[in-house]
A and B are shown apart, each in its own frame.
Chain A
Amino acid sequence: MISQLRSLWQVLRHSIRPRATVQYPEQRPYLPPRYRGRIVLSRDPDGEERCVACNLCAVTCPVDCIALQQTTDEHGRWYPEFFRINFSRCIFCGYCEEACPTYAIQLVPDYEMSEYDRQEMVYEKADLLIDGPGKYPDYNFYRVAGLAVAGKDKGEAADEAPPVDNRGLLP
């Protein structure tokens, strides 16, 4: 009996407490920069696509929502012919971002992706690509990797020594 009167009183005291609700469309919750929301494909500082179509994101995706096809440009550089994410399947786990060796795929703080048509939830490469480098402004995969691409031969990457000619007789 006492405990019931006590709980009545304690509930009544909530009349003057602030409310916990965030009035969503007018007020918005704070989303931290590392919030896992919509997935984007970023570009390197030179404006080229970062994605090298290695398929690691598609492999690691637990719900198989990523589909892509690798192709090569005239200099031998890999890039995705198409890159497709089905957001009606995506669970925003962020494994694709973890797996990506070139920081190309990134999750950004945006969750307002509702559509009236389910097919609209399938994002193509044009929908996914953004103009900037995303969370890693200075990173350029081809400037640190040993691969030879257009405008950079072997041994010219950052922190890279020239290739050793292991058939030469010189010390």
Chain B
Amino acid sequence: MTPLTVLGGLLGLTALLTWVERRFLGLWQDRYGPNRVGPFGILQFVADAIKLLTKEDRVPAFADRAVFALAPVIIMVTTLLAFAVVPLGPGLGVAADLNIGLLFFLAMTSLGVYSVALAGWASNSKYALLGGLRSAGQMISYEVFMGLSVMGVVMLAGSFNLQVIVEAQRGLWYCVPQALGLVVFLVAGLAETHRLPLDLPEGEQELVAGYHTEYSGMRFGMFFLGEYVGLIVTAAMIVTLFFGGWLGPWLPPVIWFSLKTAVVILFFFLLRAALPRPRFDQLMAYGWKLMLPLALLNLAVTGAAALSTGGAP
């Protein structure tokens, strides 16, 4: 599978996902969502893309032009690169056999914070700056235990290689022995991609649109796409690390992987439909006072269990 196929497929899927999300939000709110353009409204994303592309691409006079242009590129590049290490099937993926795959993913999500912080800074407007600052605080706090929460998986599998991690789950998916790690990673992934219950960087009610307030046209579209790619990557990582990746009976591995990822993405949509957004101090308190100790506890217990059974299997 060539990188270009994965890239094209991923971007197409991302565009489609905007429509899927709106349809499902509609379903859960007892309405229809976009259902006019094409069969079931499936061409809505084409209409949206045309609209975004034909909009004026405006750079505010008070913005720092170079950084302003750079910021949306960073989030696209980092999230797309993070997807490179995801194993879609046995030996399938762009760089799935990378022996530091998991570390590479963590590094790329951490780099993503630059996009948001720089966008907020370069916009030179108060709402964008506040959104950028919040986002920097949120992402840096949550990536601390995002990394810690997956160390239990690494301990059990004995490798950072995502292929090896998936293969190690043949007997039992890690969502059972690492249930705590799964919960912590889920919350952290939600915060890293700033999906809706934790979308404080762009909280419409208080910050207009947060760090991308000043962005318009396709530059805004890149932020949007970047976030959706981030969502897919996070869901794919959850599947890979905790739900056995492409493992499954009867169906081909790629289908299993896609199905599991789709279910996780739908769960993210459900979280968006159901839960309210916490305050920023609540978010920070959850992060440092609850999630970090939980991640450390998970790490300690897994380590103790691994030691008592004679080291990593």
Contacts and interface: CB of A to CB of B under 8 A. Distances in A.
Contacts, number: 35
B275 A8 contact: yes
A157 B271 CA distance: 73
Contacts of A69: none
A17 interface: yes
Contact of A14 (B27, B271, B275): B27
Contacts of A20: 30-31
A15 B122 CA distance: 42
B270 interface: yes
Contacts of B26: 19
A4 B30 contact: no
B35 to A, nearest CB: 8
Interface string B268-286: 0011011100000000000
A6 to B, nearest CB: 9
A11 interface: yes
B31 A15 contact: no
Given A8-B275, A12-B28, A19-B31, 16 more contacts: A4-B274, A4-B275, A8-B270, A8-B271, A8-B274, A11-B270, A11-B273, A11-B274, A12-B270, A14-B29, A18-B30, A19-B26, A19-B27, A19-B30, A20-B30, A21-B30
A42 B217 CA distance: 52
A83 to B, nearest CB: 40
A44 B275 CA distance: 60
Contacts of A10: 274
Nearest to A7: B274
A44 to B, nearest CB: 46
Contacts of B274: 4, 7-8, 10-12
